[in-house]
Structure 1
Amino acid sequence: MKLLAFLMAGPTCHHHAMWRHPETENRFLDPAFWETLARTLEVGRFDGLFLADTLSFYDETIMARGGQMSLLDPVPLVAIMARATSRIGFCVTIPANSQDPYTVARLLSSLDVLSGGRVAWNIETAPTVWAAQNLGKEELLPCDERYDRAEELLKISLDMWKGWANGAIVVDKESGDFLDEKKMHRTEIAGKFLGARGMLPVPPSPQQHPVIMQAGSSPRGRDFAITYADLVFTLQHSLPDMQNFYADMKDRLDKAGRNPSDCAVLVLVDPILGETESIALEKQAYINALVDTRLGIALVSAHTGLDLSHHPTDRPIRDIQAEAGSCESFEALVQGTKAGLTLGEVARRFATSDRCPQIVGTPESVADELQDIFGNNGCDGFIVTPTVMPGSFEAFARSVVPILQKRGVFRRDYPGTTLRETIKAQSC
């Protein structure tokens, strides 16, 4: 079983009331907070930390009410946390539309070298209009073209990362030879969107180049993942959904000629722990009751591209569906909603962990459910998202991880020094 921790440098992760909980520290601007959190997760033997990112505020309501946002660039955070740890990995989100290949390849390779080979790149291909405007672009590329551009970006980065053969670094004081230019590769690629001519001046890390992570669940996103990704991140709402996604990805990998174990499928979960089942349920009810209805409506509006703020919160969601039936994402949201729910109820549910499954109970029962999903081909591991920061991770690492270790489904130690060694290890 593989474990990543989901993080954002802001007030919340997936549960949009996280920052309002009395035990949440809200020290997301404090370097010492991130160092301590990274060490806590490393003691818990997490494979890595997954730092999501946003390039803009979604809208004024989300900004004012403390919705999902990044108040810091994740790259400096990785540098800080890598210095405080020695084994845990770091997955950095860099959107495919925000940088040129040379900048991305140089930045990530530098992080990878300085961390000792513990960096992954989450390639985001679904930016928002607001992010595009921050980058000086008024419109987004069509979906297929965004993937075309992302593929060019990745191909060029991979080619640059392969530019140093073994033995390229000489550093012979006596002869005066520093590099062997015959073992250096020059990138010469001209694509439809991007290109590069030259050499990357950053040598390879112990894992050669960053691990690749991708989160697209569309057919094009899945094809992209099976071609390039080492890790796939997905949000599924139930075990059957997880099993269907898992089976489809493994089948695609097999048909593409890759070993299905070459790409790990990780699903998002929101564990809420209590000393007893009733205490855990009370904790769940408490944090979920803090969700802001206005924020929830703003989040659903941002997600669907529809302005729902002018509708009464007590209006049945299916009545709104008739007016907005042309919106595919809104239709999908409504279809997954119980009949009779109002807009306000749907919005609060959406703002509760972004509909990520909440696994609620004692450490033993939470471990049972994770093991059940893992053992029944629902995933290769989990991305754990918090409801209290940093308490959710502290409790999970202290109480759930030892149970999983005792059962033999999670490692007791890291198998090596790099992230690639950690995620490729079958057991340890």
Structure 2
Amino acid sequence: MAKRQMHLVAFLMTSPSSHHHGAWRHPESDIDQMMRPERWEHIARVLEAGKFDALFFADLNGLYDLFEGRFDTMVGKGGQICLLDPTVLLPIMARVTRHIGLGLTYSTTFHHPFGAARMLATLDHMSNGRVAWNVVTSASVVEARNYGITDMPDKATRYDRADEVLEACCALWDSWEDGALLFDKANGDFADPSKVRYADYEGRWIRTRGPLGTPRSPQGRPVIMQAGSSERGREFGARWGELVFTLQHEKSDMQAFYQDFKGRMGTYGRSPESCAILPSIDVVIGETESIARERAAYVNSLVDTRLGMAQMSGHLGTDLSRFDPGQPLSDLPTEFGSKGSLDVILQGSRRESLTLGEAARRFATSELCPQVVGTPEQVADHFCDLFLDHACDGFILTPTLFPGMYEQFCRAVVPILQKRGVFRREYTGDTLRANLQG
């Protein structure tokens, strides 16, 4: 029986801030290259050299303006404002790589499945079968208004619609069979119409006739990523997810999520091995532990408390400026827009009984996901401990410093994981899905 292998996926945003809201201010940050294609080509090459399974772009279609009713803090202090469209960046990154998976975030609430299916199938063709779709239902009214939606549907409705969107997309992707394209110049036969059919999908919210104009792509359909933490989100992920992006602070919480999620998959006729659970982790590496801690202290000192409050406001769907920063975080009301986000924030701060203001500053350093600080060996020890004790199947790495953290991790930590036999030395599959299953 093949030894279980760790999966690594890189978290990217076309934003000054990803999980660490102060990292763009670091002297070694390449923030001034944000709008250049060379920046994105470089990081794709670095991550492929490090044999990462995939990279993916988190995305936000708007500017959070809940904090004090303005977007001034988010824009002025460099929060999560997505400056570029990842659907344009992925082909650029595909051209300079051959193996690494390429993922993007796309909302089932704002986009019709025909357009989504066409775009994703095209990207899968252009990357030779390396595309992943991070499926989100979206929860932000800020984004909804940019798509002409005045009132966001409730969570249950959004997920019910998302099920229909995935069903419709699958029907569209399957509207072309393998081998439909003939390219027979001598007989003038371009394709076999008997291998093309209408989708004819009709649900409560979604209707599409098809067939898709784009022939069947190398993977047939993209790898499905998902990050729902709520009860309904977990059910959706158990049905569809192949890579699940999660965020817990403690090992015990990761193990509880892992067991709960894997246990749900049988209901949908799926084996637990068909989905990889990947918690988010920030990493700060140093030649010695003391150097690593000095580096972490410095980059963490660059965060802005008000930006943390503004970012938390956006995630929770409420203006936190109306609360006293000195009140216990646990006293916040729980009827906010994203229950999953609130649960993560409470989970990440309960051990220290943080106030709202303290949690905001902590949130600004890593959005309350674990920040692993140490030598390459110590980081590898931490990863192996979580992986071997079935707290996860691998990790989503988020950059404390871009691109330096990824460069350092690939150069110093990956070889240790390879030597221990828990991470690949070479890609073995022809597609992203094949590499995930290999």
Residue 321 (str. 1) matches residue 336 (str. 2): no
Deviation at residue 65 of structure 1 after TM alignment: 1.2
Q: Which amino acid aligns with 1:305?
A: G
Residue 32 (str. 1) matches residue 43 (str. 2): no
SS of residue in 2 equivalent to 1:86? coil
Residue 76 (str. 1) matches residue 88 (str. 2): yes
Contact kept? 1:233, 1:267, Cα under 8 Å: yes
Unaligned runs of 5+ in 2: 1-5, 66-70
TM-score with structure 2 setting the length = 0.93
Quick one: distance in 2 between partners of 1:357 and 1:334? 14
1:371 to 384, 399, 416: 384
Deviation at residue 337 of structure 1 after TM alignment: 3.4
In the other structure, the counterpart of 2:275 is 263
2:121 to 103, 106, 109: 109
Quick one: distance in 2 between partners of 1:47 and 1:325? 36
In the other structure, the counterpart of 1:232 is 244
Deviation at residue 206 of structure 1 after TM alignment: 2.0
SS of residue in 2 equivalent to 1:309? helix
Contact kept? 1:349, 1:355, Cα under 8 Å: yes
1:49 to 49, 55, 70: 55
Quick one: distance in 2 between partners of 1:422 and 1:130? 37
Q: Which amino acid aligns with 1:7?
A: L
1:180 to 192, 196, 214: 192
Q: Which amino acid aligns with 1:38?
A: A
Contact kept? 2:376, 2:413, Cα under 8 Å: yes
Alignment of 1:411-422 (within 5 A): 411-422=424-435
TM-score with structure 1 setting the length = 0.95
1:152 to 151, 158, 164: 164
In the other structure, the counterpart of 2:416 is 403
SS of residue in 1 equivalent to 2:200? strand
Deviation at residue 340 of structure 1 after TM alignment: 5.9
SS of residue in 2 equivalent to 1:120? strand
1:361 to 371, 374, 380: 374
2:254 to 231, 242, 263: 242
Q: Which amino acid aligns with 1:162?
A: D
Q: Which amino acid aligns with 1:199?
A: P
Deviation at residue 254 of structure 1 after TM alignment: 2.9
Contact kept? 2:11, 2:396, Cα under 8 Å: yes
1:287 to 281, 284, 299: 299
Pair 356,200 (structure 1): closer, same or farther in 2 beyond 3 Å: same
Q: Which amino acid aligns with 1:156?
A: A
In the other structure, the counterpart of 2:173 is 161
Deviation at residue 63 of structure 1 after TM alignment: 2.0
Q: Which amino acid aligns with 1:19?
A: W
2:23 to 18, 22, 30: 18
Contact kept? 1:337, 1:346, Cα under 8 Å: no
Quick one: distance in 1 between partners of 2:141 and 2:241? 26
Pair 219,331 (structure 1): closer, same or farther in 2 beyond 3 Å: closer
Contact kept? 2:44, 2:93, Cα under 8 Å: yes
Contact kept? 1:95, 1:127, Cα under 8 Å: no
Pair 159,125 (structure 1): closer, same or farther in 2 beyond 3 Å: same
SS of residue in 1 equivalent to 2:209? strand
Deviation string 1:250-283 (CA, Å, 9 cap, x unpaired) is: 1111343211101111111001100000011111
Alignment of 1:380-395 (within 5 A): 380-395=393-408
Contact kept? 2:345, 2:368, Cα under 8 Å: no
Deviation string 1:32-74 (CA, Å, 9 cap, x unpaired) is: 1100110010000000101110000112121221111211111
Quick one: distance in 1 between partners of 2:354 and 2:256? 27
Quick one: distance in 1 between partners of 2:131 and 2:18? 21
Quick one: distance in 1 between partners of 2:320 and 2:43? 37
Quick one: distance in 2 between partners of 1:71 and 1:119? 22
Quick one: distance in 2 between partners of 1:306 and 1:260? 36
Number of equivalenced pairs = 422
Quick one: distance in 1 between partners of 2:225 and 2:346? 30
Unaligned runs of 5+ in 1: none
Pair 182,340 (structure 1): closer, same or farther in 2 beyond 3 Å: closer
Deviation at residue 300 of structure 1 after TM alignment: 2.2
Deviation at residue 331 of structure 1 after TM alignment: 7.9
Quick one: distance in 2 between partners of 1:228 and 1:325? 28
Residue 171 (str. 1) matches residue 183 (str. 2): yes
Deviation at residue 301 of structure 1 after TM alignment: 2.2
Contact kept? 2:280, 2:398, Cα under 8 Å: yes
Contact kept? 2:248, 2:344, Cα under 8 Å: no
In the other structure, the counterpart of 2:3 is none
SS of residue in 1 equivalent to 2:150? coil
SS of residue in 2 equivalent to 1:251? helix
Contact kept? 1:120, 1:210, Cα under 8 Å: yes
Quick one: distance in 2 between partners of 1:375 and 1:177? 54
Quick one: distance in 1 between partners of 2:199 and 2:334? 48
What is the percentage of aligned positions where both structures have the same residue? 50
Contact kept? 1:317, 1:334, Cα under 8 Å: no
Contact kept? 1:86, 1:417, Cα under 8 Å: no
Residue 278 (str. 1) matches residue 284 (str. 2): no
Quick one: distance in 1 between partners of 2:284 and 2:277? 22
Q: Which amino acid aligns with 1:367?
A: A
Deviation at residue 98 of structure 1 after TM alignment: 1.8
In the other structure, the counterpart of 2:202 is 190
Quick one: distance in 1 between partners of 2:343 and 2:387? 30
